[in-house]
Amino acid sequence: MNTLIQDCINNKSSETPIWLMRQAGRYLPEFRSIRKKNQDFIKLCLNTKLSSEITIQPIERFGFDAAIIFSDILLVPYALGQQVNFKKNFGPDLRKIDLKILNNVKKEDFLHKLDPVYKTVKEIKKKLSNSNKDTIGFVGAPWTLLLYMLNRKSPKGGNFRVFPKDKYVNNILMKLDEFLKIHIEAQIESGASIIQIFDSWAGLLPEKDLEYFVYKPIKSLIDFIRKKKTISICFPRNINNYKKFVDNVKPDIISIDYNVDPSIIRDTIDIPVQGGLDPKILLQNKEIVRNEVTKYLKTFDKKRYIFNLGHGVLPETNPDMVRHLVDEVRSFNGQ
């Protein structure tokens, strides 16, 4: 069976599919109740039974057209031997990288550490097998991972420094290229029908550094995903020039943030587009949500557009507003 997203990007359906980044997360009481009993976030991601349950929660509640695996981009640094903790009211907290460890990680050990994630992908694929919904696997882009690995915490609020393009940085980027491909391949073999690449911090870089840190490393992953005959989505958050990104990297689908004008995207980019709506809009009233949703849907006019947000669902979002959002998109489909 074709999925709705496949039909949409191949122009075989005028229905707009919808799923949301961070659709499984703290805004859902059913997630919070599991999270409360599981304080160690990495362990939770590596618990196949619970991560499968969490992945399916928003599908059961809202009927989204795709399930994104409940996991995290920082599981890759973790499986590469760097200690990662998620601290309450702080976010990720990483220990210093040890190059000796990083350069000696074996493929089998990496795959063994992340095996529960691949089992979750298999579970979800099985659950969705009789539906037209996609199973989305994902990785962090090399730049965003490098940033967390070297900065050892979120670069939020300018809390980071620019790295030289030296041997040390190149060593880490090469290792990331190698192991991200291993992680992508294992997710595809387990049943992921789409791979999304999150480059959440691409917008921090000056134009002159994009080729080295963003275009080249992501292109390498995209070419790999294409060889595996799997759909790729890229989310280079907050970059200034999406057209240049698409021309250089050539993903199947481009996911946009909320700072870019969607009509400029429509007029300059000719691959399928995803996302855009500011997640803060979901904290407003229903009328504002309707107006903003309509703006995106009218701009793309049912043409190869996947509804999503311009970043993840905020924890303070009322699930009723997500229900309203889904209903608005579905009722537009019927028009």
Q: What is the contact surface with ligand CP3 in residues (CB under 6 A)? A: 21-26, 35, 41, 68, 70-74, 86, 91-92, 138, 154, 198, 200, 312
Shortest-Cβ-distance residue relative to ligand CP3: 200
Instruction: Give 81 or 275: the residue with its C-beta nearer to ligand CP3.
Output: 275
Query: Residue 303 Cβ, how far from ligand CP3 at the closest point, in Å?
Result: 25
User: In the complex, what is the shortest distance from the CB of residue 241 to ligand CP3, in angstroms, rounded to a whole number?
Assistant: 20
Of 35 and 290, nearer to ligand CP3 (C-beta) is 35
- Contacts with 277 (C-beta within 8 Å, 6 or more apart), sequence order: 258, 292, 293, 296, 307, 308, 309, 310
| Residue nearer to ligand CP3 on the CB measure, 36 or 167 | 36
Give the distance from CA 75 to its chain's centroid: 13
Three-class DSSP category at 150: helix
Rounded to 5°, the CA angle 47-52-56 comes to 150
DSSP classification of residue 126: H
5: nearest Cα among 152, 241, 15, 313: 15
**With respect to ligand CP3, which residue has the nearer C-beta, 52 or 200?**
200
The least CB distance from residue 277 to ligand CP3, in Å, is: 15
Nearest to 224 by CA among 195, 244, 256: 195
- Residue 63 or 91: which CB sits closer to ligand CP3? 91
* Closest CB 326 distance from ligand CP3, rounded Å: 15
Q: State the nearest-atom distance from the C-beta of 18 to ligand CP3, in Å.
A: 14
Closest alpha carbon to 191 in 89, 299, 117, 265: 117
